[in-house]
Amino acid sequence: MKHTNIAVALGALGFSICSLGVLAQEKPAATEPAGDYSLKASSVGAADTGTQPLAAPTYGMAGTGFTTVHATDGILTARIPERAAPIKTDGGVFFYPSVFVGIGHNDNVLGTPTNQIKSAFLNVSPEVVAELKNRGDRYTAKATIDALQYDSSHDDDFVAHDVRVAGDNYFSQRARMGWSIGHIGAVDPRGWTQRTESTNPDKWTASVLEGRFIYGAPEAAGRVELDVNYVPKRYQNNRTFTEVADVNVTEIAGRVFYRIGSRTLAFVEARQTQYDYTSSAAIDSNTERNYNLGVTWEATAATTGVVKVGHLSKNFDQAGLSDFSGTSWEASVRWLPLSYSAFDLTASRSTADPTGLGDYLLNTGASLAWVHRWTGYVNTRVSYGSLRTSFAAASRLDTAKTWNAMVSYNVLRWLTLGVDYAHIDRSSTDPTAAFRRNVVMLTANVTL
């Protein structure tokens, strides 16, 4: 099962600290109660631009499904779905096809306080990952299509795509590099932004270029990392209101790790993100700088995590807009009291660019999820999240809370069925922005 959604920055309620957000409908943590963190590769990753204008929740219904993946020591290459059997070629390329199907009901498609649109929906998302290994290097190509159709609100139907080619290259025991290039096509669901609402969602495309260089052996006393990312994002329709949202996002980040224990590293991190809006009418171009101290650990078999605290500033080019300067934090900790049971705690405080209201958004949130394998066939996930969003210079404050629950059943090696329920309750000082939503979905994940 595939979706975590309304989450990424609007707000609702996933707090990723380790990835360049793209479709915003990221596959959540694995059902396997095994750590998602490894000191052998990057433990921190690039800044999450999913909280910035790049990403919008293309599946705006706050589903809670999750997909298992094989753990890898990869840098930026794609992960392989668990239990997937490959199609092998004579050239050494392995193909892993899969498809997700969800049938459900959303009782508030647009997220409005009154006159809600209720609708059944069908969500189909095929995906294929190609993998090639050559002399220790690993290369992947990944293509995903995500199609959503409503029974009672066809204006909100969409077809999104995400295509990536990536490589992990190992030059020596100390030096290695990951790179990724891709293209995304997605939408901002109606009601997600504060721009003037049109009769259909705002469609956009973005290219994605990511690079990470790492110097330092996995077990060495120290390690250095450098990230470079570039994402030009362009809206395709409703140009009267979306032209000012076209943006080029350029990010550079560096961090230095120092081993303070056999399985614990302390680090310092600096990153700068430039948001350059291309329209002559846009006023939101700004530079964001973040300096952090942190620690990442695999202290015991039961605990893994990353925690960092620092100073964040956001300075706009346009005079008269409110700048931000204050404390930021990011944390993601997994506790495994049993080999078949895991608790995931995440928390963050960060800024985001406006989408039609305020000078900037200040997001502060946390979430807790419990993943449990009851048998070799039955898994459950229950989670709660809260996100507080302050709109600078707009006198608006939102608080969104979500409750999610799902159960999945591995019918066969290649087939997993599930039931997925999500509830979101957003209160706001602006009564027109408050809403409640319930989504229930029957899901199927099929691999080869």
For residue 41 the two structure tokens come to 């590769």
157-180 pLDDT, tens per residue?
999 999 999 999 999 999 999 999
Grouping H, G, I as helix, E, B as strand and the rest as coil, residue 37 is coil
213-241 pLDDT, tens per residue?
999 998 899 999 999 999 999 999 999 99
Asked whether 363 and 384 are in contact (CB, 8 A), the reply is: no
- 114: which residues sit within 8 A by CB, 6+ positions away? none
Q: Give the integer Cα–Cα distance in Å for 232 and 164.
A: 15
Q: What pLDDT sits at residue 73? A: 57
The string over 376-394, giving b where at least 16 C-beta atoms fall within 10 Å of a residue's C-beta and e elsewhere, is: eeebbbebebbbbbbbbeb
Asked whether 278 and 250 are in contact (CB, 8 A), the reply is: no
Higher-confidence residue of 57 and 181: namely: 181
What's the full length of the chain, in residues? 448
Q: What percent of the chain has pLDDT over 70?
A: 83
The string over 180-205, giving b where at least 16 C-beta atoms fall within 10 Å of a residue's C-beta and e elsewhere, is: bebebbbbbbbbbbbbebeeebbbbe
Report DSSP letters for 201-270, one per residue: PEEEEEEEEEEEEEES-TTSSEEEEEEEEEEEEEE-S-HHHHGGG-EEEEEEEEEEEEEEETTEEEEEEE
CA 81 to chain centre: 17
Q: What pLDDT sits at residue 298? A: 81
Is the pLDDT score of 347 beyond 70?
Answer: yes
Q: How confident is the model at residue 56 (pLDDT cuts 50, 70, 90)?
A: very low
Is the pLDDT score of 191 beyond 60?
Answer: yes
Give the domain ranges of the chain. Answer: 7-447
Is the pLDDT score of 5 beyond 50?
Answer: no
Q: What pLDDT sits at residue 425? A: 96
Is the pLDDT score of 365 beyond 60?
Answer: yes
Q: How confident is the model at residue 384 (pLDDT cuts 50, 70, 90)?
A: very high
393-428 pLDDT, tens per residue?
999 999 999 999 999 999 999 999 999 999 999 999
Whole-prediction pTM? 0.85
Q: What share of the chain is helix, strand, coil (3-state, %, to 5)?
A: 5, 60, 40
Fold classification of 7-447 is Porin (2.40.160)
